[in-house]
Amino acid sequence: MRGVREWEKNWSFLKNYDPLGQPRAEAPLPSSVSVFSGQVPNTASQTLGSRESTPLGRELMRMDRLVLWTGSRRAKPDPEILPS
């Protein structure tokens, strides 16, 4: 907590500027946001449901299997989805 207080005292002015030194413009928040997405399947139980046969659904299922089987010798995780 002491480090946070020191940073706020010494450096918090930086959060008001972008990397080029220009003042940041605060973007207004939207008044309403839909919980449904056109790119990610949404269902009441948050599962893929009937969209499993779509290319996006198949890719999500493949990524789920990679996460579950990362300890297996058979499945090598894709380096793109591994944390850096």
Q: Which residues of the chain have pLDDT under 50?
A: none
pLDDT at 2: 92
Residue corresponding to tokens 């940041």:
24
Burial 50-65 (b: 16+ CB within 10 A, else e): ebeeeeebeebeeeee
- Ranges of each domain in the chain: 50-84
Q: Report residue 38 as tokens.
A: 């056109």
